[in-house]
Amino acid sequence: GKKVLIVYAHQEPKSFNGSLLKIAVEELTKQGCSVTVSDLYAMQFEPRATRNDIVGRLHNSEAFNYGVETWEAYKRGALSKDLVEEQKKVQEADLLIFQFPLFWFNMPAILKGWMDRVLVQGFAYDLSKAYDGGLLQGKLCLFSFTTGGSKETYATRGDIRYLLWPMQHGIMHFCGVKVLEPHICYAPENVSDEKRKEMLTAWTQRLKTLWKEEPIDCSPEWYFK
C-alpha cells in the first residue's frame, strides 16, 4: 500500500478541517494506504526556526545563520529530535496532504513553521538540485484548505491560484515534489448544512480516484495565464 502523510493545522478537531482530515484518514486507510497524521497544534509543534534546532556545536558560533547551520547539522546527523521525526515521515511518504484553513491569503504560521524547519537544505533540496531535480522527487502533494470568503469573492479580488504560487511552486515544486490540483472548500462556515455535506462528499469522491490523477503543470503559465 501507499504511504500518506497528512500535515494538519487546525486547533479544533470538530472543525470543518477536522472533518476533512477524518474523511481522508478513513478513505485512504480503506484503500490500503498507511496514513500518518502530524497534528501540529496537538503536537504543540514549534514553528520558530531557532538555535534549538541544532544539537551540539554550531558550524559558526560567531554569527548564527539558520540555513547554513541546519544544512551542516543535517549532514552530521545533529538536527533536533522533532525535526528528524518529521523528516522521516516525509521521506517515507508517497503523498503529502496539507490540511488547513487559509489565513491572510496564506497557510497558518504553525504550518509555515513546519515548512521552514523540516524542509532543510540537504534533506529537501540542494541549490544545484531544485524543482524537477529536487531531492524529494517521486512524491506527490496536495493542498486541501478552507477559506473564509466565497468563490465569487476570490474571483473579483484576484485568482486564488496566485496565492498557491508560493506554496505549490515555491516550496513543494522547488523540493522536487509533484503537485496535484488543490482541493478548496470555499467558506464552509457561511453555507447551509446541506452544502457542507456536499463538500465533504466531494472530498470523499475525489480521494477514491486520487492515485489516478495527473499532477498540475507547476509552471508560471498555469498560475498566471
pLDDT beyond 90 at 224: no
Lowest mean pLDDT among 4-8, 98-102, 158-162, 213-217: 158-162
Number of residues assigned to the chain:
225
Using CA atoms, how far apart are residues 33 and 36, in angstroms rounded to an integer? 10
pLDDT in the model for residue 208: 97
Q: Are strands 34-39 and 3-8 parallel, antiparallel or unpaired?
A: parallel
pLDDT mean over 111-140: 95
Who contacts 6 (Cβ-Cβ below 8 Å, separation ≥6)? Answer: 21, 24, 25, 35, 36, 37, 38, 96, 97, 98, 99
**CA–CA separation, 72 and 67 (whole Å):** 9
Number of domains in the chain: 1
Which pLDDT score is estimated for 194?
95
pLDDT, averaged across the chain: 95
CATH number at residue 36: 3.40.50.360
pLDDT at 59: 95
Q: What is the per-residue pLDDT for 106?
A: 94
Residue keyed to cell 469573492: 153
Average pLDDT estimate for 198-225: 93
68's CB contacts (< 8 A; 6+ apart) are 59, 60
Q: Which domain holds residue 124?
A: 3-224
Q: How far apart are CA 61 and CA 193, in angstroms?
A: 56
Contact between residue 185 and residue 20 where contact means Cβ atoms under 8 Å apart: yes
Cα separation values, 215 from 11, 95, 118, 204, 218, Å: 30, 12, 23, 19, 8
* pLDDT band, very low/low/confident/very high, at 225 (cuts 50, 70, 90): confident
| Chain segment 144-200, per-residue pLDDT in tens | 999 998 888 888 876 888 899 999 999 999 999 999 999 999 999 999 999 999 999
Residue 46 has pLDDT above 80, yes or no: yes
Query: What is the amino acid identity at position 208?
Result: K
Label residue 42 by pLDDT band (50, 70, 90): very high
- pTM (2 decimals)? 0.96
Average pLDDT rounded to a whole number, residues 77-92 = 98
- The pLDDT of residue 138 is 97
User: Would the pLDDT of 115 be above 80?
Assistant: yes
Task: Report how many helices (DSSP H) and strands (DSSP E) the chain contains, helices first.
Answer: 8, 6
